[in-house]
Structure 1
Amino acid sequence: MVVTAKRRAPWWTRLTVALGVLLLLPAAAVAGDPVPRSGLRGPLNILLAGIDPRGTHVRPLSDTIIVAHIPADRHAAYLFSLPRDLVVWIPPFPRTGSAGQYAKINAAMALGSETSPGKYDPAVGLELLADTVEGVTGIKRFDGGAVINFGGFKQMVASMGGVRMVIDQDVSSEHLRPDGTPRDVSAACRASKNCLRPYTGAQKIYRKSLHPVRLRPWEALDYLRQRYGLPRSDYDRQRHQRQFLKAVADQVGRDPARLTEVLSAAGDSLVIDAGGHALTDWLLELKDLDVRTVTTISLPGEPVFWNGKYLGEQFTPDVAGFFAAVGRDRVAAYLLDHPTLVDAATSRSRRP
């Protein structure tokens, strides 16, 4: 199925706002006649987390944290990221015995995941991550959330035949050669475990493009991991991740026949929390949401130092105004007054 600018995608495919916001794809896959009433009301906030697939015996770190905000009028959707190194208060979590502490926000998932000694459950960790993000943003509660590990990410991209997206700046891979094989570790770093950037040799390079280019699964994952050498480091990486979500949503919406295949590819790598609502509620509530209304937002931050030592990141004071707008469901008006927060538009593909 090909969708052009003159014809909106069917409503059930438009549920794929930013990877279906992960939460909504299952509903689309089983869509029938929607129930006449949804249990969801008002603005919606959904928490998305990406973790490293190192097994249930290793603490998961949420290196990707994205919030999707959908206004009460359902006419738009907004995506913004929280830096993984954001220094925050992580509240106590009696369920796993974790004490409250100041730490980088990506530790919240790990601290909330240990359900028994040496065993970790990301679904439980998502609860503490949500509590932490709520404290940072002022969001009173999340209506739903999802966790996907990067292995599942690659499988989903493979099931789509790759992803087409604009590369908005030259990006050199820290980890891979041009053919996708791992780069060598330098001799000096083989003898030391303290090397920040241990790799050497030829690098895979993703060149800036004016139009979408196809990324194979390993390229997509590699591209979204990169921060070294970028002008704004992790903030550039966060933007690339948001751009990717938007590209995936667009691509799945253009080829709805592959929707079930994409979901099946994720398997156990995808954990969904529907916030106590039936998936048919999500289906009905977002039936008119168009993926082309998704706006991605860059929130400014800066490093935190103590006695010359880097501790992590913090948001600049003016970000509080944006979070207040989220709480009041006034994001569109806020962005009109603060247009620099909106990520620059990228070209769209006309291909299915």
Structure 2
Amino acid sequence: MTDSAGIPGGTPAAGGGPRPPRSRRRRLLRWVGLGMALLVLAGAAAGWWLYAKLDGNIREDSSATAELERYERERPLHLIGGAQNILVIGSDSRSGKENARYGQDQGTQRSDTTILLHLPADRRSATAVSLPRDLMTRIPSCLGTDGTRTEERFAQFNWAFQWGGAACTIRTVELLTGIRVDHHMVVDFRGFKKMVDAVGGVEVCLKTPVNDAEAKLRLPAGRQTLQGEQALGFVRARYSLGNGSDTERMERQQQFLASLVKKVQSNGVLLNPARLYPLLDAATSAISTDPGLASLRGLYELVRGARDIPTDQIRFLTVPRKPYAGDPNRDELLEPEAERLFRQLRLDQPITVVPARPDPSPQVARSASGRSEGPRDQGNRPGNGTTPPVTPVPTFTGTTAGTAACR
């Protein structure tokens, strides 16, 4: 028995089999659709869980905000719309088991590192200015953790954080610089180590071996990649590296941070989920911030405008200073250079940075726009009748994130 095509009844047609009943096809499509919907929901749930976890990591420093509001009338005005100044404070707190190895927890903490980060309105550059912990300056009356208020006094800069936390440090910086601090972050030892580990370590080069018992650091000479614990010891070491001054330690911190920024901007981190999530988890769990940044949305808005800044336009420098007249082991501002730097930051003007150890050849400084400003030793030469005199470009010693860690 054959059908109209000449194929015996019940025999499958060449190249295929009998089509399933329509009801079966409908059930199959429904199951496929349900499976895809479940996958989408699972992905959304996982994304929301990750967002909630990272968002919940961030600690809000509402007490500092309340204290700053009390002195709002005394604070500097924000002069340039769109520009932002973020104060990054590295706390030397010994609280917690992970930090116990760095000394006994006495219930107090000081700012081991303080950096004023300036993001200009055009977001084409970034300038990070280190403020020496030993800088002698005026510290205002501040609210202590015990509820009492300290007296205004002239003292070492890092005492501000011990006496009144982030709010006292911010007010001290504003008195010192005349720059309005828009946001602040406090990072502790544990958070710093986690961020370094999250990016797979940071490369440094050492001319000589290091053996620093106080910083818990032993390193051979040469090129090497430091993981979290070693990295913390490296940026904290003082007496076993260089001449033992805090000046050299700040330069070392700036070079390390420049290498860290370069590593974070590399594809090996930003395009690698296995490294990006640990970095985000470490960064968010390491900081306490003002309410404006105390959320993933707030941090994202801050980072979004700065993520495309070229590494050679991310600059690190130390505020101009000199040995304090009353104690050579302390610092004081070097004027008028310090005020010139503060004024440029207040007015959102380009900052020009030259290498900390330039070679003997004339330096050609580059402004924030990247254009050549000419050799530094020609800035004050008078005109020859046909060319107007060149206005000297203020330059500051420092480094950039584009500078290689090892050469």
TM-score category (smaller protein): 0.5 to 0.7
Please tell me the residue identity of whatever aligns with 2:189: F
**In 2 relative to 1, CA 157–333 (structure 1 residues): closer, same or farther, beyond 3 Å?**
closer
State the partner residue of 2:150: 98
**In 2 relative to 1, CA 299–226 (structure 1 residues): closer, same or farther, beyond 3 Å?**
same
Name structure 1 gaps, 5 residues minimum: 1-25, 30-39, 113-124, 183-202
State the partner residue of 1:216: 227
**In 2 relative to 1, CA 77–128 (structure 1 residues): closer, same or farther, beyond 3 Å?**
same
Q: Answer with 79-88 or 255-264: which moved more.
A: 255-264
How many matched pairs?
A: 271
Please tell me the residue identity of whatever aligns with 1:46: I
1:269 deviation in Å? 3.6
Structure 2 counterpart of 1:262, from 275, 279, 282: 279
Looking at structure 2, the residues matched to 62 and 338 of structure 1 have their Cα atoms a distance apart, in angstroms, of 29
Decide whether the 8 Å contact of 1:157 with 1:163 is kept in 2: yes
Q: Answer with 340-349 or 75-84: which moved more.
A: 340-349
1:145 deviation in Å? 1.5
State the partner residue of 1:330: 349
2:218 matches 1:204: yes
Please tell me the residue identity of whatever aligns with 2:221: R
**In 2 relative to 1, CA 208–302 (structure 1 residues): closer, same or farther, beyond 3 Å?**
farther
1:86 deviation in Å? 0.6
Please tell me the residue identity of whatever aligns with 1:262: L
Please tell me the residue identity of whatever aligns with 1:261: P
2:188 matches 1:153: no
User: RMSD across aligned C-alpha pairs, in angstroms?
Assistant: 3.2
State the partner residue of 2:236: 225
**In 2 relative to 1, CA 205–276 (structure 1 residues): closer, same or farther, beyond 3 Å?**
closer
1:166 deviation in Å? 4.7
Spell out, residue by residue over 1:8-32, the C-alpha distance to the aligned partner (whole angstroms, 9 max, x if none): xxxxxxxxxxxxxxxxxx79x9xxx
Q: How does 1:272-291 map to 2 (within 5 A)?
A: 272-273=289-290, 275=292, 279=298, 280-286=300-306, 288-291=308-311
1:333 deviation in Å? 6.0
2:122 matches 1:65: no
Q: How does 1:51-62 map to 2 (within 5 A)?
A: 51-55=91-95, 58-62=107-111
**In 2 relative to 1, CA 287–205 (structure 1 residues): closer, same or farther, beyond 3 Å?**
closer
Looking at structure 1, the residues matched to 352 and 264 of structure 2 have their Cα atoms a distance apart, in angstroms, of 30
Higher relative contact order (CA 8 A, sep 6+): 1
Name structure 2 gaps, 5 residues minimum: 1-53, 58-79, 96-104, 354-366, 368-372, 374-392
Decide whether the 8 Å contact of 1:171 with 1:226 is kept in 2: no
Looking at structure 1, the residues matched to 310 and 196 of structure 2 have their Cα atoms a distance apart, in angstroms, of 22
Looking at structure 1, the residues matched to 111 and 86 of structure 2 have their Cα atoms a distance apart, in angstroms, of 15
Q: How does 1:14-25 map to 2 (within 5 A)?
A: none
Q: How does 1:163-242 map to 2 (within 5 A)?
A: 163-167=202-206, 170=208, 172-175=210-213, 182=216, 204-205=218-219, 207=221, 213-228=224-239, 229-231=241-243, 233-242=245-254
Decide whether the 8 Å contact of 2:201 with 2:228 is kept in 1: yes
Q: Answer with 326-335 or 238-247: which moved more.
A: 326-335
TM-score by length of 2: 0.58
TM-score by length of 1: 0.67
Looking at structure 2, the residues matched to 137 and 166 of structure 1 have their Cα atoms a distance apart, in angstroms, of 34
Task: Answer 1 or 2: which has greater helix percent.
Answer: 2
Looking at structure 1, the residues matched to 205 and 332 of structure 2 have their Cα atoms a distance apart, in angstroms, of 29
Spell out, residue by residue over 1:225-262, the C-alpha distance to the aligned partner (whole angstroms, 9 max, x if none): 12225247211111221222222222122212222212
State the partner residue of 2:339: 320
1:266 deviation in Å? 5.1
1:158 deviation in Å? 2.2
What SS class does the counterpart of residue 190 from structure 2 fall into?
helix
**In 2 relative to 1, CA 164–273 (structure 1 residues): closer, same or farther, beyond 3 Å?**
farther
What SS class does the counterpart of residue 230 from structure 1 fall into?
coil
